Structure 1
């Protein structure tokens, strides 16, 4: 099949870009390295859109949350990622979490059956010299292609470490010690009857011993060329957080607030006392057989992980479907090397999308892939492009990547209200609702304008 657009990388962004173009009638060649005899240090399968870290797309609240608003906008643009996510959805309170295998299978099926998409298992070693191309190779871009990108941009690539959380078999968790509850009992339509998280309570003594174990545990050693690579704050290894202070974890992933331990009921606390600290596990697949340790990304060595994590109350006999890990994450200094349409300056037949542009998170990566697909479709049709306003989640994220951020200090970023055009005349308590309400209205107006922008 001849193609109109070559997309390199079959992750979330590449899959979303391919879908948007194919749905608009353009033929796409989607090149994916995995399945050609090549893989990455973090992937476990050859499936398109494999989720290599958490199985959560984070908050689905589109009334008070920036990423929830991003979900809303993607759904309005017929996002394949959101379509597949709904089919693969598993309980996670007010968050959107998915069965990772069902999710990637849905994405691959939709693209594999589309008459305008050709999926080719091949490694691409260099940026194409001609032809419209979207590069979506993500944080684990192959070394040869990364070198080609560096040569084309004239800038050294930046990098940070991204850590993966362990997954535990549900039937190995001691539910006589743990209990199921969502924090503050928050629910949504996909919630489990009793709650969406398994909670492992800790006393002060247990917590202090665990904290010390994180500090002392045997950790992965860095290679010389990795030594100065910074961590991303939104995906910090738990032992790195622990090193920041003895109570850091109790105000982070191990915070106990809003969780009433039914094993610790007193006349003063008839619903159960809050534990001193808590480890939460979130359902990872639709069957409910696998649960991941929330916020427990780690660079501890495997043996150290097993020994330490089995000291957590309720996990003494834990069987791990996957242990935590660490991989290097590569991204462009996008404000410096990309234009406002994600095109490479000096080679505008090449666009970049997804995590390689410096957005962080599954949903953000997918959203930038979606926008790259629409931009490219409009370019092929001879139609002008008008970016969504910065009052919307997509517009704010795109603006950050393509020029609003300082190039000298550019780092990966999740979508957040700090990227939006500010609201100064709204009280603090009403501000989140005001951001999302304004964003929905402005996004609707932008969609109407997009169809009438003159060439």
Structure 2
């Protein structure tokens, strides 16, 4: 009999174990709590929601709404249970978090093919045919060392220094130019131009912006290579002009001169629908980020699909080590799922757990693992975390991850509606074709 292990009893691990068990196979689900607790968890329940009690919007014209509908089509345990434990929250799916995690725990504990083992996994077990690692952003120190051995030490990050990411359609490209410093490269960076007056206004608001207080389990360890942008600014008014906002080596083709200051945007995906602010990792509160960064002329109407942060978050560089099936390139019998892969949010974590579970089932049945269509939110997310790029910044579900429609639609909501309808149609066909 084949032996399957799922390490981690969070949202991703719970989905993966449930999918495999429902597929007719026995699975060992390892969860270290309560033997060893994390600084963020408060109970020993599986799938505990440690931050918000909301799984995001129901509306399929939002990234999280479309993703949850896709998960529902795939038989998601998380979505089904959340709907049974929901509390009033307008257009969002919010839950009574205690009822939710208790119910998930009861379902898995009573499942005849799920064996829950309450102990810390310190070494990757060798006596299993397939292993799914879904240990989340607070992976224990011993297991982190094991994952470093598996993936290569340089591909495991412990502090997540993230710069804001912007929907390219909302950038005013007339307020800057494409170029690399000193003419190197092929113009891969968009340079948002600021005059001295515009820089002064931006700088003054930046250094007095309200910051997110550190959580108890986070240490204020800021490496020189990833200091918060506001911390750099506090070292002096000119510091940013010699750092992330330096104009050196750039000439504005409109003026033939070097700009006073620039903010560089780098493509986050091959299609260029997402651009990230280079060097703009920050501890500013989210409303402050939007207010202050929109003082940059090219970003006055910017839609931020992800805002900046610096926090404790263990995640692998999936674009270097994982295939789009979530299998480890070096060892395809080991799969990763959840936030440790570089996806963000409850739904995204659960969705990758479903995908990992599906692909283990495929291999157990001597079938090839599947790659989800990139037109679906699940497929778009996994493509983002596994496709080649300079570096991986964790990402939440959003419509900029999906390919453009065949025809240009100006109305933003209609465009999302049509993308969502395409995603659900393609997913239904994919499910039928692959007997999922």
State the Cα deviation string for residues 344-377 of structure 1 (Å, max 9, x = none).
1222221110000000000000000001001001
User: Does residue 382 of the first structure (1) align with residue 366 of the second (2)?
Assistant: yes
Match of 2:152 in 1: 154
The answer to whether the 8 Å contact 1:215/1:239 transfers is yes
- Rounded to whole Å, the distance in 2 between the matches of 1:351 and 1:74 is 19
Say how many residue pairs are matched. 326
1:99 to 88, 96, 99: 96
The answer to whether the 8 Å contact 1:42/1:327 transfers is no
The answer to whether the 8 Å contact 2:325/2:370 transfers is no
1:248–1:45 Cα change, 3 Å: farther
Match of 2:141 in 1: 143
User: Does residue 25 of the first structure (1) align with residue 24 of the second (2)?
Assistant: yes
The answer to whether the 8 Å contact 2:209/2:288 transfers is no
User: Does residue 12 of the first structure (1) align with residue 15 of the second (2)?
Assistant: no
- Rounded to whole Å, the distance in 2 between the matches of 1:110 and 1:70 is 23
Name the SS for the 2:375 alignment partner: coil
Name the SS for the 2:90 alignment partner: coil
1:155–1:81 Cα change, 3 Å: same
Name the SS for the 1:336 alignment partner: helix
Name the SS for the 1:18 alignment partner: helix
User: Does residue 60 of the first structure (1) align with residue 61 of the second (2)?
Assistant: no
User: Does residue 410 of the first structure (1) align with residue 392 of the second (2)?
Assistant: yes
1:146–1:373 Cα change, 3 Å: same
1:246–1:21 Cα change, 3 Å: closer
Note the C-alpha offset of 1:80.
0.5
Note the C-alpha offset of 1:98.
0.9
1:228–1:75 Cα change, 3 Å: same
The answer to whether the 8 Å contact 2:66/2:420 transfers is yes
- Rounded to whole Å, the distance in 2 between the matches of 1:136 and 1:79 is 16
User: Does residue 50 of the first structure (1) align with residue 48 of the second (2)?
Assistant: yes
- Rounded to whole Å, the distance in 2 between the matches of 1:104 and 1:145 is 24
Match of 2:73 in 1: 76
1:243–1:337 Cα change, 3 Å: closer
- Rounded to whole Å, the distance in 2 between the matches of 1:19 and 1:216 is 36
1:128–1:55 Cα change, 3 Å: same
1:130–1:40 Cα change, 3 Å: same
1:219–1:85 Cα change, 3 Å: closer
Match of 1:427 in 2: 409
1:241–1:69 Cα change, 3 Å: closer
Note the C-alpha offset of 1:45.
1.1
Question: Any residues of structure 2 matched to 1:15-414 within 5 Å, and which?
Answer: 15-36=14-35, 38-62=36-60, 64-131=61-128, 132-156=130-154, 157-160=156-159, 214=210, 222-224=219-221, 239=285, 242=288, 328-402=312-386, 404-406=387-389, 408-414=390-396
State the Cα deviation string for residues 74-107 of structure 1 (Å, max 9, x = none).
1111110011101111111111111111110111
Name the SS for the 2:349 alignment partner: helix
The answer to whether the 8 Å contact 1:215/1:243 transfers is no
Q: TM-score, normalised by structure 2?
A: 0.68
The answer to whether the 8 Å contact 2:33/2:44 transfers is yes
Q: TM-score, normalised by structure 1?
A: 0.65
1:219–1:158 Cα change, 3 Å: closer
Name the SS for the 2:34 alignment partner: coil
The answer to whether the 8 Å contact 2:359/2:369 transfers is yes
State the Cα deviation string for residues 227-250 of structure 1 (Å, max 9, x = none).
7667899x975547647867989x
Note the C-alpha offset of 1:423.
1.4
Note the C-alpha offset of 1:155.
3.6
- Rounded to whole Å, the distance in 2 between the matches of 1:219 and 1:5 is 35
- Rounded to whole Å, the distance in 1 between the matches of 2:220 and 2:363 is 43
- Rounded to whole Å, the distance in 2 between the matches of 1:141 and 1:95 is 29
What is the root-mean-square deviation in Å for CA atoms of aligned residues? 3.3
- Rounded to whole Å, the distance in 2 between the matches of 1:212 and 1:349 is 50
1:103–1:214 Cα change, 3 Å: same
- Rounded to whole Å, the distance in 1 between the matches of 2:314 and 2:354 is 20
Match of 1:189 in 2: none
The answer to whether the 8 Å contact 1:20/1:370 transfers is yes
State the Cα deviation string for residues 375-402 of structure 1 (Å, max 9, x = none).
0011001122332211111111121122
- Rounded to whole Å, the distance in 1 between the matches of 2:32 and 2:220 is 25
Note the C-alpha offset of 1:134.
0.4
- Rounded to whole Å, the distance in 1 between the matches of 2:212 and 2:87 is 35
The answer to whether the 8 Å contact 1:56/1:98 transfers is yes
